[in-house]
Amino acid sequence: MSFTCQAARKTALSFLSALLLFTGAGQITAEAEAGSESRSESGDAAGKKAEPTAAQILQERYMLCQEISELTQVPWNYLAALDQYERTVTPKSKQERLKGKLVSLNPRPEFWAGWLNPDSSDTHPATIALFGGIGRDADGDGVASPDDDHDALYSLALYMKSLGLAEDDFQIALWRYYQNERAVTRIRQFAKLYQTFETLDLNKTAFVLPLSSSYSYRSTWGDRRGFGGLRIHEGTDLFASYGVPVRSACYGIVETKGWNRFGGWRIGIRDIQNRYHYYAHLQGFDKKIEVGSPVIPGQVVGWVGSSGYGGPGTSGKFPPHLHYGIYRDTGHHEWAFDPYPLLKRWENEERRRK
Ligand SMILES: [Zn+2]
């Protein structure tokens, strides 16, 4: 290792110890990930250290990604995307182990220790290397621990670049790691979001219609569909006039755009929480938007219409409205949940900001 590498490593390590002191007092919870800014800033009477705010956690994580990127040449946005993907597919039951940690990487034991290693929970760098595992000791404590933020991110970064530093190489490495095309797609989408906006703080939201427009909606989760058969209604219908702008609720990447027999002209946007936002029955789209385009909260993506329930271009079979649905990707499948409470929240938050 060259002198500059050593120096960089030392910087990274002192940074890490400061970080551990910093995060040790607090607990990183899923709530923090949701972008809640309401966390207590002050300690209690017993003099406990203040918990870091959600924004502080994101900033520290961003710095860790930068540090590991400098050590490994793997772009920081890919490291952040890998970590964020893992966070979004970690089931609630397993989130306990993430408390107090900055990254949520969860390398499979056989990858970490090596496929033929008889000890799948091996943390000895020498035997891990002997069996071809990816686990490395990055912080110099003699232990290669997948539960250590620095060891985990550094090891995965080295694995990511084992086939090269081009985007195609990363994709092959990711495919080998996950054996799942969806995971690779998500990580690419997240990497693009981070690269575009150069921050991890992508939780800002907007209401899906302009507050100044005339619209109405109510909670109809689970109601029978008014149109199109007996499937339950997976979403909320927001009634408004033709041509009212439809806005992205979030930072995201356009994942689908075009005609769907039921949804008509519809657009689907993936956010950094791995949620898919679905806007259907549009009159048309903003021409600048294509699959793969990044969007920001409040950006106009299309206009309210009544398209759908037939071949391309069919419209007017029901009153104009925006059908808005939201789905969560668990890594294996996607499930719809009731968007009504979120819509209400976004609407109220935006009203307060005005
Ligand atoms: Zn609907």
Distance 296 CA to ligand 1 centre (A): 24
- HEC secondary structure over 291-349: CCCEECCCCEEEEEECECCCCCCCECCCCCEEEEEEEEECCCCEEEECCHHHHHHHHHH
Percent of the chain's residues with pLDDT above 70: 83
H or E stretch at 215: strand 215-216
Nearest C-alpha neighbor of 271 from the set 340, 339, 180, 176: 339
Distance 353 CA to ligand 1 centre (A): 28
Helix, strand or coil, per DSSP, at residue 282? strand
What's this model's pTM, rounded to 2 decimal places?
0.84
In the predicted model, is pLDDT for residue 36 greater than 50?
A: no
Q: Place 18 in a pLDDT band, splitting at 50, 70 and 90.
A: very low
In the predicted model, is pLDDT for residue 47 greater than 70?
A: no
Mean pLDDT value of segment 75-90: 96
In the predicted model, is pLDDT for residue 297 greater than 50?
A: yes
Mean pLDDT value of segment 38-57: 64
Q: Place 154 in a pLDDT band, splitting at 50, 70 and 90.
A: very high
Q: Place 132 in a pLDDT band, splitting at 50, 70 and 90.
A: very high
Under 8 Å between Cβ of 151 and 134: no
Distance 233 CA to ligand 1 centre (A): 6
Beta partners for residue 202, in sequence order: none
Distance 270 CA to ligand 1 centre (A): 19
Under 8 Å between Cβ of 215 and 240: yes
DSSP characters for 231-270?
A: SB--SEEEEE-TT-EEE-SBSEEEEEEEEETTTEEEEEEE
In the predicted model, is pLDDT for residue 121 greater than 80?
A: yes
Average pLDDT over all residues of the chain:
86
The predicted pLDDT at position 31 comes to 35
Mean pLDDT value of segment 321-342: 94
| Coarse DSSP helix, strand, coil percentages of the chain, rounded to the nearest 5 percent | 40, 20, 45
Distance 106 CA to ligand 1 centre (A): 38
Distance 237 CA to ligand 1 centre (A): 5
The predicted pLDDT at position 4 comes to 42
Give the count of alpha carbons within 13 A of 185, CB side only.
14
Topology given in CATH for the domain delimited by 215-353: Glucose Permease (Domain IIA) (2.70.70)
The predicted pLDDT at position 100 comes to 82
CA 154, 156, 160, 164 torsion: positive or negative? positive
In the predicted model, is pLDDT for residue 145 greater than 60?
A: yes
Per-domain boundaries in the chain: 3-197, 215-353
H or E stretch at 284: strand 275-285
Q: Which tens digits make up the pLDDT trace of 167-193?
A: 999 999 999 999 999 999 999 999 999
In the predicted model, is pLDDT for residue 225 greater than 80?
A: no
Select the more confidently predicted residue: 354 or 337: 337
The predicted pLDDT at position 67 comes to 97
Distance 53 CA to ligand 1 centre (A): 37
Distance 324 CA to ligand 1 centre (A): 7
Mean pLDDT value of segment 328-341: 92
In the predicted model, is pLDDT for residue 326 greater than 70?
A: yes
Which residues, at least 6 apart from 214, have a Cβ–Cβ distance to it below 8 Å? 240, 241, 244
Q: Which tens digits make up the pLDDT trace of 246-288?
A: 999 999 999 999 999 999 999 999 999 999 999 999 999 999 9
Distance 261 CA to ligand 1 centre (A): 14
Q: Which tens digits make up the pLDDT trace of 98-115?
A: 888 999 998 999 999 999
